[in-house]
């Protein structure tokens, strides 16, 4: 008798940071993981190696989420691992700069919106196509990764980025209501300042430390703490939760 195929989780932008932490934690929870990346093949393959060395199942899949055809290929590759039950929409960029909106080049704004808004929409569309019980799917869960930057709008640093994440929050609420009867839950995790390479890539490696005094818990988050919230929302323990935006921010 053939063994049942594992449940599959797609994690976009999983070559490092929060995405990698989600992939590792998901594998430990028994998921087979499609580790998506746009350009960092080395990082994605390192995540896959870490998972497989620990006895899990994973595959690295290159796809730029701002390209809907590439998103479809990502889902096709994930299907080879088993039955899709969850998607984590983590891929996101700041444009690798910090400063007032006035100084953000038009091409940077376009690229941030392409990845952070259009890319999330494309992934959600494909997830619904594959998961919807109305379309022959088995249902499942979509988790979008937003940011608590949406609270104040990140003035002087990342207004463009905060605006893109505000769109993710609205998408989560609307889509959750739209597909609830199709067996799909849609939720969002909004991290606060987190110890990843995001800040260094934008030219301010000490940004989390600078913000520490304004965080009630007195420190930035670790990626695995954000990943823990994601895995909880994916789990049956959160089976009555949909349309939620969960801050993981230390109270800030």
Residue 199 pLDDT exceeds 80: no
Residue 48 pLDDT exceeds 60: yes
Structural domain for 29, as ranges: 7-248
Tell me the torsion sign for CA atoms 231, 235, 238, 243: positive
pLDDT for 62? 98
In angstroms, what CA-CA distances link 200 with 43, 194, 207, 219? Answer: 17, 12, 8, 17
Q: Verify whether residue 37 is a known catalytic residue.
A: no
Does some domain include residue 63?
A: yes
- pTM of whole model > 0.85? yes
| Mean pLDDT, range 13-38, rounded to an integer | 98
Q: Would you place residue 1 in the very low, low, confident or very high pLDDT band (cuts 50, 70, 90)? A: very low
pLDDT for 54? 97
Asked if 175 and 186 count as a contact pair (C-beta separation under 8 A), the reply is yes
Does some domain include residue 116?
A: yes
| Mean pLDDT, range 192-207, rounded to an integer | 78
| Mean pLDDT, range 97-111, rounded to an integer | 96
Which residue among the candidates 31, 37, 122, 161 is catalytic per the annotation? 161
| Mean pLDDT, range 172-198, rounded to an integer | 94
Does some domain include residue 2?
A: no
- CATH classification at residue 13: 3.40.50.720
Q: Would you place residue 44 in the very low, low, confident or very high pLDDT band (cuts 50, 70, 90)? A: very high
Lowest mean pLDDT among 1-10, 39-48, 95-104: 1-10
Does some domain include residue 196?
A: yes
Does some domain include residue 1?
A: no
pLDDT for 198? 74
Q: Is 204 exposed, middle or buried (0-12, 13-18, 19+ CB in 10 A)?
A: middle
pLDDT above 70 as % of the chain: 97
| Mean pLDDT, range 75-92, rounded to an integer | 97
In tens, the pLDDT along 56-70 reads 999 999 999 999 999
Count: domains in the chain? 1
Residue 126 pLDDT exceeds 90: yes
pLDDT, the chain, mean: 94
């Amino acid at each position: 008798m053939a063994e049942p195929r594992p449940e599959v989780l797609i994690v976009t932008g999983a070559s490092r940071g929060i995405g990698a932490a989600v992939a590792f934690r998901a594998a430990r929870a028994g998921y087979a993981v499609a580790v998506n990346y746009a350009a960092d093949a080395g990082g994605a393959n390192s995540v896959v190696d870490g998972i497989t060395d620990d006895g899990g199942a994973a595959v690295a899949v290159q796809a730029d989420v701002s390209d809907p055809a590439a998103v479809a290929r990502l889902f096709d590759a994930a299907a080879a691992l088993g039955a899709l039950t969850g998607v984590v929409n983590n891929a996101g960029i700041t444009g690798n700069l910090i400063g007032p909106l006035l100084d953000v080049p038009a091409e940077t704004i376009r690229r941030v919106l392409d990845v952070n808004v259009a890319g999330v929409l494309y992934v959600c569309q494909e997830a619904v196509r594959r998961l919807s019980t109305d379309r022959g799917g088995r249902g499942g869960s979509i988790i979008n990764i937003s940011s608590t930057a949406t609270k104040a709008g990140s003035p002087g640093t990342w207004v463009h980025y905060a605006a893109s994440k505000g769109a993710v929050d609205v998408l989560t609420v609307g889509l959750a209501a739209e597909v609830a009867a199709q067996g799909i839950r849609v939720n969002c995790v909004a991290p606060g300042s987190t110890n990843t390479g995001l800040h260094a890539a934008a030219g301010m490696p000490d940004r989390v430390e600078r913000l520490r005094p304004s965080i009630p818990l007195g420190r930035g988050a670790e990626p695995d703490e954000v990943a823990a919230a994601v895995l909880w929302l994916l789990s049956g323990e959160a089976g009555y939760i949909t349309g939620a935006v969960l801050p993981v921010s230390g109270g800030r």
